[in-house]
Amino acid sequence: MSDVNEVVIVGSGPAGYTAAIYAGRAQLKPVIYEGSVTAGGALMNTTEVENFPGFATGVMGPELMESMRKQVERFGAKIITDDIVLVKLTGEIKELTDGSGNTVKAKSVILAMGSAYKEIGLPNEKRLSGRGVSWCATCDGFFFRDQVIAVVGGGDSAMEEAIFLTKFASEVVLIHRRDKFRASKIMIERAEKNPKIEFLFNHEVIDVLGDDKVSGLKLKNTLTAQEVVKDFTGLFVAIGHLPRSELLVGQLELNTDGYVQVEGRSTKTQIPGVFACGDLVDFTYRQAITAAGTGCQAALDAERFLSGH
């Protein structure tokens, strides 16, 4: 049984890293798969995080994640920079296969794969992705200097993206399908105060125009159904996220939106020894701090499970 780990953690956002810190400190020698390209999770694509407790003057998302990673290393977790591509979660010994074809065994597994950007679902959105269509202002904003760009969405992400993009763009039009934002008051106020941001309410994007790069958007008024074409050279989609649970289909109970179901306030899934945390589970709060909190819970749940065996 020496090649069987006590706990393997999949995912490296605040949930995965926190689970690894707790499991490491509990001497469980955790193995954490941090992903081949996306180590650190969604916060790696964020700018300043102002509301993570303990950072009175704010902290940059990537810096916060780098710091969590160092803390993971300090408590002896084995960090593997690869993706898990296959899982076999049933039975006492779980098996996980990584992108390089290696299989790792574990008595318990903590799933913390987070979520991925949601797409509008238009054929031309996909075709022009990387050619004017983007999901990440901090990654791509630089390419839109002095241009007029659109941001779609009405939540905090849309506000954050729009505000960040005003560093580069000459004008940012925030397009929302309703007349009321879902974002927090403080973020709405910041966007409203920014002279480069225009708001276009009650409109949805029904097509992305352009041959080899974005030249405009076809919009539809959600109240009157009237269609209009507007010129833009960029489209930033900030309409939320979807849980990254593809790996788990057929093995674990997922809700209709693909989130992993857990038992009550715990992180226990319906398979003994398999725990889930962070944005993979949470469709309500979805904050870095709540993800970290459930990562801690998952490690404690796994520890109790292992001590009971």
Residues engaged in binding ligand NAP (CB under 6 A): 51, 120, 152-158, 160, 177-178, 182, 204, 239-241, 286
Torsion angle of the four alpha carbons 143, 58, 43, 20, in this order, in degrees rounded to the nearest 10 = 150
As a whole number of angstroms, the distance between CA 40 and CA 138 comes to 15
Q: Does 277 qualify as catalytic in the annotation?
A: no
As a whole number of angstroms, the distance between CA 270 and CA 213 comes to 46
Please give the helix or strand (H or E) that residue 207 lies within, else none. Answer: strand 203-209
Of 69 and 203, nearer to ligand NAP (C-beta) is 203
Instruction: Quickly list DSSP for 113-150.
Output: --EEEPP---HHHHHTBTTTEES-HHHHGGGGTT-EEE
Mapped onto helix, strand or coil, the DSSP state of residue 214 is coil
Of 36 and 290, nearer to ligand NAP (C-beta) is 290
Residue 143, sorted as left (phi over 0), alpha (psi -120 to 50) or beta, turns out to be alpha
Q: Does 296 qualify as catalytic in the annotation?
A: no
Instruction: Indicate the pairing of strand 203-209 with strand 103-111.
Output: unpaired
Provide the minimum distance between the beta carbon of 209 and ligand NAP in the complex, in angstroms, as a whole number: 17
Provide the minimum distance between the beta carbon of 206 and ligand NAP in the complex, in angstroms, as a whole number: 10
As a whole number of angstroms, the distance between CA 50 and CA 89 comes to 38
Q: Does 282 qualify as catalytic in the annotation?
A: no
Which of the following is catalytic: 98, 140, 156, 301? Answer: 140
- Closest-CA residue to 273 (of 237, 304, 249): 304
Residue nearest ligand NAP (C-beta atom)? 155
Of 90 and 222, nearer to ligand NAP (C-beta) is 222
Provide the minimum distance between the beta carbon of 208 and ligand NAP in the complex, in angstroms, as a whole number: 13
Of 152 and 173, nearer to ligand NAP (C-beta) is 152
Provide the minimum distance between the beta carbon of 212 and ligand NAP in the complex, in angstroms, as a whole number: 25
Of 107 and 241, nearer to ligand NAP (C-beta) is 241
Which of the following is catalytic: 82, 83, 98, 139? Answer: 139
Provide the minimum distance between the beta carbon of 288 and ligand NAP in the complex, in angstroms, as a whole number: 8
Catalytic residue positions? Answer: 136, 139-140
